[in-house]
Amino acid sequence: MQSALRLSRSSVGTNPLNHLCSSLAASPPRFVSVEELMETAKGVTNMALAHEILVNHTFQVKPPELPEGSLERRVKEIMHKAFWDCLEAQMKEDPPTYGHAIKLLAEVKETLLSFLLPGHGRLRTRIDEVLDLPLIQQQAENGVLDIGQLSQFIVEMMGSLCAPCRDEDINKLKEITDIVPLLKAIFSMLDLMKVDMANFAVTSLRPHLMQQSVEYERSKFQEFLEKQPNALDYTEKWLEDTVKCLREAEADGSGAAASSDPPSLLPLTVHNHAYLRLLRWDHASDPFPETVLMDQVRFQEMQQEAERLALLCSVLLVVYTTTGDAISGLPGLMETLKNTVSVILADMHTPSYSAQEALATIGEKLCVELSQCLSQHGYSPFSADRKNILRSQISATVHPDNSVRKLMDSRVQSYFLASLEFSQHKTPPALPGGLAPVGRELKELAVRFSRLVIFNKLVFSPFYQKILHKILTGGGESP
């Protein structure tokens, strides 16, 4: 009856071990023993778990939920029904047979003891005295075992150990009089209490983990690297490609000839731009760098949010540019238009979302709102020609190479880059023009991005320094 626990996040995750192992396919195989593989897997799993607890403050352990109609769910339901039916049949015998019941009491005792803290000496003694299994066995053999009394003791003990949020559930247990339903409900409640205890342990562990996390993750990754020397291949490519892009951009900007010496780059500049590239990553085709793999879901979420904010600003810029000065000073209009657009763009990264249809809908809704607003403030009506122009320009932002959208994307990226530099200079970056409507959201996103980057740098700085030194001195850059 022991319940398995699974680790849950609010978003879809990626298995770090699978990705790390798949990253080795590009290099010649190295034969390893099963013991080595299992040891490596355990180290990566522990590192990923510790990292998740640290950076994800909403991290929780949740009970398993097998899919409705799945084979596993049906097998579990059949086995549980068979067990409880057998227990009920034994309890109805004359005299009752207590074989199954005693096994349940033993498991309940073990679970209750597992909830106790070192200072719970009196509770431990009390549980040992009341749930004395040899004594219970003797009572069963002599026909004097009172399962109902033991069950009530268990419920009372659970009430003293459970979280306050479970008090109502405990009270409901006290209302059950039939033994088998009561035992069944007790086990369901114990499963929930195990989850509560696990989450309490996670919360208690986090402050201590923060003190040791950098050294712990670095040492675990070093152990993994010693067993799999090619475990930094994608990280090296990520940094090499960043250097190549920066040198090409500098060369184009300065008009330097292809044969001239490559522009000099600072490691910090390369590193910050490399992190910025993670917010424009093609997750479907490009393997994610190993050193940021455990945060791939978080970077992808931030990338999607940044894209949504850039498109939102693009639409609002089109509106204010097309409509002119008539609406520029109207109080509350910007927030109204922003809310309208935000609602429609909220699901823009879901598979069934049609950006073209969404932008067409936005165009129609904004034309209606603008017409009403202009009429209310005594301005000339919104003409049909201006409506058509506005709808057309809003729909055009569906294309990533649209001039307005490219401008907003570029300014969002510049702001994120400035936020990384702000972490060194302690000067808050100024918000680029056109991004004021989403200033609050963008600042919050930049803070999340910067914190994740700073922690990643602390953990993997020795590896990054070696790679960047090799690339920037010409010893390892790809042709």
- Residue spans of the chain under pLDDT 70: 1-47, 210-211, 251-263, 326, 423-427, 475-479
Amino acid found at 22: S
Domain boundaries, the chain: 71-202, 240-249+264-472
Is the pTM value of this prediction over 0.85? no
What's the 3-state SS for the chain? CCCCCEEECCCCCCCHHHHHHHHHHHCCCCCCCHHHHHHHHHHHHHHHHHHHHHHCCCCEEECCCCCCCCHHHHHHHHHHHHHHHHHHHHHHCCCCCCHHHHHHHHHHHHHHHHHCCCCCHHHHHHHHHHCCHHHHHHHHHCCCCCHHHHHHHHHHHHHHHCCHHHHHHHHHHHCCCCHHHHHHHHHHHHHHHHHHHHHHHHHHHHHHHHHHHHHHHHHHHHHHHHHCCCCCHHHHHHHHHHHHHHHHHHHHHHCCCCCCCCCCCCHHHHHHHHHHHHHHCCCCCCCCCHHHHHHHHHHHHHHHHHHHHHHHHHHHHHHHHHHCHHHCCCCCHHHHHHHHHHHHHCCCCCCCCCHHHHHHHHHHHHHHHHHHHHHHCCCCCCCHHHHHHHHHHHHHCCCCCCHHHHHHHHHHHHHHHHHHHHHHHCCCCCCCCCCHHHHHHHHHHHHHHHHHHHHHHHHHHHHHHHHHHHHHCCCCCCC
Instruction: Look at residue 34 in the predicted model and tell me its pLDDT.
Output: 45
Upper half-sphere CA count for residue 174 (Cβ side, 13 Å) = 12
Task: Assess whether the previous peptide bond of 67 is cis (omega < 30° from 0).
Answer: no
CA distance 187 to 184: 5
Instruction: Look at residue 380 in the predicted model and tell me its pLDDT.
Output: 77
Amino acid found at 81: K
Instruction: Look at residue 331 in the predicted model and tell me its pLDDT.
Output: 76
Instruction: Look at residue 51 in the predicted model and tell me its pLDDT.
Output: 74
